[in-house]
Structure 1
Amino acid sequence: MPVRLLAPIIFSLAAAVPAAWEEKEPPAQEYEYGADASQKLDLWRGRGKSAPVILYIHGGGWSQGDKEHDALQKAAHYGQMGYAFASMNYRLVPQATVEQQVADVASAIAWLRAQSRPLGINKGRIILMGHSAGAHLAALVATDPVYLKNAGLSMKAIAGVVLLDGAAYHVPSQLGVGNADMQRLRSIAFGGDVARQMRLSPVSHAARPNAGPFLLLHVNNPSTIAQSRGLAALLRKAGTKVTIDMIPNSDHMRLNRHLGDEGDRATELVDQFLATAVP
């Protein structure tokens, strides 16, 4: 399986990475988890031969973004805690459908489990983490069992889920929110078929079975508050363990970009969640 070292670290990001981590840890390696050119992930190894692993799904309105964006700081922080960290690419709209994107997440989980021994990770301790559209994809694969089943897995393949200011947990109510560019991106991703929109809404699948537990973090924005609270309420109704919290004095991008910073409230909450989800 092809492997390459990542390109040199962007200087603006490198300044934020703890020097001790840089000196002790090898750079990430890129792996292919599928045949498509977009089906690749970067993996930073954890400690020991059976480390828990976080699989990070980037945002970008389902049509843009890259696995290298905002990944290094997270990899450094969780690497210091002993976790392996994987950041994945997936096929993008409009060349691919949202359904195919969720299938890519399931395929990446299946690949990590299949390669767990040579990668030094514990296949029973995989945490999904997604931001924005990536949080939607994480929530959908963790609530609708079809995608993991098609990859030969059950909901037990996901040990926990971290959703960072997610979008479109209930797709129809999200389509008209935000500026014209965001509305256009959502329209391209989800189309005008309300039945399909609801199939792609995690709230439609929040009844059992679900992966779990879930941590939902959001900023002080009416839309993301409503989306997060709505999903959390349905998950709890189904008996799924849920923690939800608002991050004050933040915004949609800041919440994600500062994850891993010392003293950051969102980082503290994620660290506490991980300590109980994958002890």
Structure 2
Amino acid sequence: MGMVPAMRMRTSPAILHGAGRLAQPWVRRLLAPLAAALLLSSAAAAHAQSPCSGLAPGADRPVRNLAYQPPTPDLPRSVHLLDLWPGAAPLPAPLVVFVHGGTWMHGGKYAGTPGQARAFRKAGYAYATVNYRLLRHGPPQEAARDIAEAVAFLRREAKGCGLDPDRIVLMGHSAGAHLAALVALDESYLEGAGVPPEAVRAVVLLDAYGLDIALHVRETGDPVYARVFGPDPEGWTAMSPVSHAAPGRRPPPVILHVDGDNSETPGQARTLEQALRAAGGEVEVFDAEGESHNSLNYGFGAPGDETTRRTLDFLARQVR
């Protein structure tokens, strides 16, 4: 009796479920476009989601701890965070970006107080206060780049947060005023972040340090400045806002508030005032009688505060 040949059966892989099991190829080909579409839709929805979503226009509370740059392995996450009080009607609102002081070594966005935010919100502005790299995280050039990146982030989020991306005010106190002036006057920082320098429409400086670093070091031999800015006089010039207040691009209008009892800041303010005027810029300097270095910042927004009134009057002419 002959051998019965084995039957050759054509089979297809079954659709198996569970770990390690694969669907039939034709199923995978069918599902792939659908999966891709779902991923794109999810990504688009995430992109469209504004950090201000769920916050009613005019709400008297901020969106806190927004990351304006991706995490950096060598830095604490807090370095690149900001708080934002979105714009109130009428929208879009001009935006004030506050830069805290602390001798380039200390401080944080908490120095941008709720009193400041409320004063600006009442006048029709949005308000943000930013952290940046302190000296232990990098030189002050990196701090200036951080501030420019924060401005770029806020411009990207402008539509969802009720902000006008082309009406921005930089405001700083003490060393933060130096950084605000530097970013506004040295175009390289904003341009490096993809921000047109003309988007910064005005600058508010509260008892600013470091406006002319070389002059200050020559006059006082202050070791703090050498520690912060290094020993090279050329570096001092590059980091001095007064060096960038030169003819070529008309500088944004600047208002400087100075504590007359401070041994340094009145002379620094007058030096910058002269340079800005020589460059065709608009500038106002106010000697804040009865104020101190700290009260100029922490008293801002208090009822009857003269610094607040003068600032808002100045910005009403330049920005609103």
Q: Normalising by structure 1, what TM-score?
A: 0.86
> Aligned residue for 1:224?
265
> Aligned residue for 1:270?
311
Match of 1:257 among 266, 284, 298: 298
Question: What do the CA deviations read for 1:83-118 (whole angstroms, capped 9, x no partner)?
Answer: 111000001103211111111111111111111101
1:28 aligns with 2:63: yes
Instruction: Give every structure 1 segment of 4 or more consecutive aligned residues whose post-TM-superposition deviation is greater than 6 Å.
Output: 1-4
Q: How far off its partner does 1:211 sit?
A: 4.0
> Aligned residue for 1:84?
126
Q: How far off its partner does 1:81 sit?
A: 1.8
Distance 1:41 1:24, change over 3 A: closer
Secondary structure of the equivalent of 2:169?
strand
Q: Tell me how far apart the structure 1 counterparts of residues 293 and 190 of structure 2 sit (CA, whole Å).
A: 28
Q: Tell me how far apart the structure 2 counterparts of residues 25 and 143 of structure 1 sit (CA, whole Å).
A: 32
Question: What do the CA deviations read for 1:227-273 (whole angstroms, capped 9, x no partner)?
Answer: 00000110111001111111011111111111111111111110101
Q: How far off its partner does 1:26 sit?
A: 3.1
Match of 1:193 among 232, 237, 259: 232
Q: Tell me how far apart the structure 2 counterparts of residues 91 and 177 of structure 1 sit (CA, whole Å).
A: 28
> Aligned residue for 2:108?
66
Structure 2: 5+ residue runs without aligned partners? 1-45, 53-57
Distance 1:24 1:108, change over 3 A: closer
Distance 1:252 1:148, change over 3 A: same
Q: Tell me how far apart the structure 1 counterparts of residues 51 and 164 of structure 2 sit (CA, whole Å).
A: 21
* Contact 2:175 2:209 (C-alpha < 8 Å) held by counterparts: yes
Q: Tell me how far apart the structure 1 counterparts of residues 137 and 130 of structure 2 sit (CA, whole Å).
A: 17
* Contact 1:51 1:122 (C-alpha < 8 Å) held by counterparts: yes
Between structure 1 and structure 2, the one with the greater Rg is 2
Secondary structure of the equivalent of 2:166?
strand
Secondary structure of the equivalent of 1:130?
strand
Q: Tell me how far apart the structure 2 counterparts of residues 3 and 68 of structure 1 sit (CA, whole Å).
A: 19
The aligned length equals 258
Q: Tell me how far apart the structure 2 counterparts of residues 153 and 46 of structure 1 sit (CA, whole Å).
A: 20
Q: Tell me how far apart the structure 1 counterparts of residues 211 and 172 of structure 2 sit (CA, whole Å).
A: 13
* Contact 1:177 1:223 (C-alpha < 8 Å) held by counterparts: no
* Contact 2:93 2:126 (C-alpha < 8 Å) held by counterparts: yes
* Contact 1:64 1:92 (C-alpha < 8 Å) held by counterparts: yes
Q: How far off its partner does 1:184 sit?
A: 4.7
Q: Tell me how far apart the structure 2 counterparts of residues 227 and 260 of structure 1 sit (CA, whole Å).
A: 25
* Contact 1:62 1:133 (C-alpha < 8 Å) held by counterparts: yes
1:102 aligns with 2:144: yes
